[in-house]
Amino acid sequence: MSVLIFIEHSEGLIKKSAHEVLTYGAILAAQLGTTAEGLVLGTVTENLTALGKYGVTKINQINIESLNIIDSKLYAATIAEAVSITGASVIIFSHTPTGKSIAAIVSAKLKAGLVSGAAALPDTSNGFVVRKSVFSSKAYANIRINTPIKVISVNPNSISAVIGDGDATINQLTINVGAPSIKIIAVNKITGEIPLTEADIVVSGGRGLKGPENWGVLLDLANALGAATACSRPVGDAHWRPHHEHVGQTGVQVAPNLYIALGISGAIQHLAGVNRSKTIVVINKDPEAPFFKSADYGIVGDLFEIVPQMTAEIKRIKGIA
């Protein structure tokens, strides 16, 4: 009857989103009067016992190097077997590209109800009801899961990781794992940048920047804030910025604590990828820009005048030369 939390990692390091779902799972386990356990597939360099500070009592690991290659079908079969061994009744994933692809298959294998993209902890006062955003986050739906086993993927940044005391015990699971059907031929790594999906702050630019030669205004602000950089789809399509920076419905979907949009009108496709941000700040000279309707804070004006002043003030406050 435990809660089992899938822990994502990359290159041996636990992802930020995994810390959040560990907290989510630990709080849910306390609500249900049971224990929270983690599940790691593959090898990691971090000390797994330290994950106990997020509220889990045990980390189950299948320490096989071939599992470092993410194969959704293989992962799902392995996780389903781990659920059988541990007797877990709730399985928690991060609602990341990896988590989304695996959770649905696990749900089908276990004949378990699934809520994809949960926005809050379940209400367990009368059954098991999970809240999630729908219609591109324009509304929320409360979904009741009635199956004995339940699967949830949790939107990044829906809950803050809570750090406490304690260590987790490590339990090595013995499962007959097949060979991945995916073969990695080459890895092209982007270095020196903050990953968009892991960033607390994102500074994004649109056509209002007028051209790639003006992107230094945005980069200066991002550097001062320690933020990741992003762009709207027209900017990516015009090759002003690399394609991996494109955020929106057809690009990377982000949920930072702070999203700053410079010269972006705010088409519905863009909003669908960023409206889970905790705080949205919009700077645009067009007072009728749709983005202002979704913004927490808006500044109407010329970004080429406003942003350098913001950057200078941030540097002054932070003591940056």
Q: Give the CATH number for residue 282.
A: 3.40.50.1220
186 in any annotated domain: no
CA neighbor of 52 nearest in space, from 167, 133, 143: 167
* Residues 19 and 163 reside in one and the same domain: yes
Largest CA distance in the chain: 62
Per the CB < 8 A criterion, the answer to whether 129 and 123 are in contact is: yes
Structural domain boundaries, residue 234: 196-318
Each residue's pLDDT expressed in tens, for the chain with a length of 321 residues: 799 999 999 888 999 899 999 999 999 999 999 999 999 999 999 999 999 999 999 999 999 988 999 999 999 999 999 999 999 999 999 999 899 999 999 999 999 999 999 999 999 999 999 999 888 777 899 999 999 999 999 998 888 899 998 899 999 999 988 888 888 888 877 766 778 888 899 999 999 999 999 999 999 999 999 999 999 999 999 999 999 999 998 899 898 999 999 999 999 999 989 988 999 999 999 999 999 999 999 999 999 999 999 999 999 999 886
92 and 217 assigned to the same domain: no
Is residue 181 included in any domain, yes or no? no
Burial class of residue 129, CB neighbours in 10 A (0-12, 13-18, 19+): middle
88 and 217 fall within a common domain? no
Residues 158 and 247 in one domain: no
Q: Which two tokens stand for residue 201?
A: 């702050």
Residue 147 lies in a domain: yes
Write b or e for each residue in 54-90: b if 16 or more Cβ atoms lie within 10 A of its Cβ, otherwise e.
Answer: bbbbbbbbbeeeebbebbbebbbbbbbbbbeebebbb
Are residue 222 and residue 156 in the same domain, yes or no? Answer: no
Q: For residues 194 and 229, what is the distance between their CA atoms, to the nearest angstrom?
A: 8
Query: Which CATH number fits the domain that encloses residue 107?
Result: 3.40.50.620
Answer yes or no: do 14 and 141 share one domain: yes
d(CA 172, CA 174): 7
Same domain, 159 and 15: yes
Residues 13 and 148 occupy one common structural domain: yes
Q: Is residue 163 part of a domain?
A: yes
Tell whether 34 and 139 lie within a shared domain: yes
Pairing of strands 169-172, 58-62: parallel
Residues 44 and 156 in one domain: yes
**Dihedral of the alpha carbons of 95, 97, 102, 105, in degrees to the nearest 10:** 90
Eight-class DSSP state of 236: H
Q: Is residue 254 domain-shared with residue 148, that is, in the same domain? A: no
Number of domains in the chain: 2
The C-alpha angle with vertex 273 and arms to 270 and 276, in degrees rounded to 5, equals 125
> Is position 222 within any domain?
yes
Global pTM reads 0.87
Q: Is residue 149 part of a domain?
A: yes
At residue 4, the 3 state secondary structure works out as strand
Which residue in this structure is represented by tokens 């992802």? 15
Instruction: List all residues 6 or more positions away from 262 whose beta carbon is below 8 Å from its beta carbon.
Output: 203, 204, 205, 206, 208, 209, 217, 218, 221, 283, 284, 303, 307
Q: Is 190 within the bounds of a domain?
A: no
Measured CA to CA, the distance from residue 319 to residue 268 in angstroms comes to: 38
Within a domain: residue 152? yes
| Strand arrangement, sheet containing 228-231 | 228-231, 201-205, 258-262, 279-284, 297-300
Q: What's the number of CA atoms in the CB half-sphere (13 Å) around residue 55?
A: 23
Judgement on whether residues 67 and 158 belong to the same structural domain of the protein: yes
Last residue of a domain, one of 115, 140, 172: 172
